[in-house]
């Protein structure tokens, strides 16, 4: 059975080829996470470090961390304001919560050989004040100075700060040497491309492609039928359209959940030598499928955290057998 069917865009969009995908199609074509071996341990499944949660936005980083846990990351840590640590441990003791107030305090936890296998999730609840700006600057400078290919998911105010300060590290930012997924909604995409939100929505395929080219990364452009863009093994940009998802997901916190899922999938895919594009496709479809399952009782009143048990079901649907 083929993975999907290929469509061209409608008449009001650029003539770009897009492939429709869904969780069901990925499952049928053996593109979910494989079963774990009996000898596996937490180090085999990646370490996700969420960075965010300024004053007033503590929940965002917590939700991203929880989503990373239920998506299979072997370890999840969260660097956030010290005032949030007690609440995080109370809500989810599996998260290794780290209190920081500056980029200098974060640096030892993202620099050095011992941290090269971490996937950073930068942005949930980060805010756009000095706290957020210094953390974005620290992380991006670390990536630019490293010869090692790091993994990162950039979301929310991480994207807004990059759009507002494109030279935040002293030079233009691209992620060519790294494994990066960005997850903008249409307004964030517009800021990154210096166009209007209406222009993004008028041609979502072209906008996703432009972001993938500008930042040399994989893209999940959120919205109805989210668009995934990124380079294949031949260096060509491919475009995918996720058929899962529904209006119940139009609520605060859904993007934070997606960023956690994307970080965990990227961490596990990197360990297997798979691409950030493949990780973005699976993360988007798992998140949207969970939204469909969680909204079975209706589209009004769904909470972002309602997705967590359904994410766990969707992410491991392939894990019915076991290898040695």
| pTM of the predicted structure, to 2 decimals | 0.94
Specify which residues 6 forms β-bridges with.
Answer: 19
> Nearest Cα to 40, choosing from 6, 84, 18, 73?
73
pLDDT in tens, 132-184: 999 999 999 999 998 889 999 999 999 999 999 999 999 999 999 999 999 99
Q: Identify the pLDDT of residue 320.
A: 45
pLDDT of 324 higher than 80: no
CB neighbour list of residue 252: distance below 8 Å, 6 or more residues apart: 304
For residues 219-247, average pLDDT: 97
Cα–Cα distance, 5 to 49 (Å, whole number): 36
Cα–Cα distance, 119 to 133 (Å, whole number): 20
- Grade residue 113 by pLDDT with cuts at 50, 70 and 90: low
Q: Are 257 and 162 in contact (CB under 8 A)?
A: no
User: Lowest-confidence range among 40-44, 60-64, 159-163, 216-220?
Assistant: 40-44
Q: Identify the pLDDT of residue 131.
A: 97
pLDDT, greater one: 48 or 33: 48
* Fold adopted by 6-29+42-315: 3.40.1190
For residues 87-94, average pLDDT: 98
pLDDT in tens, 201-210: 999 999 999 9
When the pLDDT of each residue in the chain is averaged and rounded to a whole number, the result is: 92
Q: Identify the pLDDT of residue 36.
A: 87
For residues 282-309, average pLDDT: 97
CB neighbour list of residue 15: distance below 8 Å, 6 or more residues apart: 8, 9
> Per-domain residue ranges for the chain?
6-29+42-315
Specify which residues 4 forms β-bridges with.
Answer: none
Cβ–Cβ contacts within 10 Å for residue 6, how many?
12
pLDDT, greater one: 113 or 69: 69
Q: Identify the pLDDT of residue 114.
A: 62
């Amino acid at each position: 059975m083929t993975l999907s069917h290929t469509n061209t865009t409608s008449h009001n969009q650029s003539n770009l080829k897009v492939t429709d995908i869904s969780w069901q199609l990925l499952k049928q074509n053996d593109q979910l996470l494989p079963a774990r071996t009996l000898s596996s341990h937490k180090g085999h499944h990646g370490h996700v470090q969420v960075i965010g949660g300024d004053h007033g936005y503590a929940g965002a980083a917590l939700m991203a961390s929880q989503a990373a846990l239920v998506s299979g990351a072997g370890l999840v840590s969260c660097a956030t304001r010290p005032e949030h640590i007690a609440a995080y441990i109370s809500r989810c003791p599996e998260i290794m919560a780290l209190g920081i107030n500056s980029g200098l305090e974060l640096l030892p936890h993202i620099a050095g050989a011992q941290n090269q296998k971490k996937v950073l999730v930068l942005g949930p609840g980060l805010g756009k004040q000095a706290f957020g700006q210094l953390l974005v600057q620290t992380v991006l400078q670390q990536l630019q100075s490293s010869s090692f290919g790091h993994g990162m998911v950039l979301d929310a105010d991480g994207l807004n700060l990059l759009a507002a300060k494109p030279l935040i590290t002293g030079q233009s930012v691209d992620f060519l040497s790294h494994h990066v997924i960005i997850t903008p909604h249409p307004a964030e995409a517009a800021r990154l491309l210096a166009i209007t939100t209406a222009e993004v929505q008028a041609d979502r395929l072209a906008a996703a492609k432009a972001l993938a080219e500008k930042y040399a990364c994989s893209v999940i452009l959120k919205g109805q039928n989210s668009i995934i863009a990124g380079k294949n093994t031949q260096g060509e940009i491919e475009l995918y359209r996720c058929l899962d998802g529904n209006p119940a997901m139009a609520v605060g916190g859904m993007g934070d959940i997606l960023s956690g899922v994307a970080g965990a999938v990227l961490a596990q895919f990197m360990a297997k030598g798979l691409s950030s594009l493949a990780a973005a496709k699976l993360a988007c479809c798992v998140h949207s499928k969970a939204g469909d399952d969680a909204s079975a009782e209706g589209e009004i009143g769904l909470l972002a955290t309602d997705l967590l048990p359904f994410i766990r079901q969707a992410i491991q649907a392939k894990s019915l057998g076991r290898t040695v």
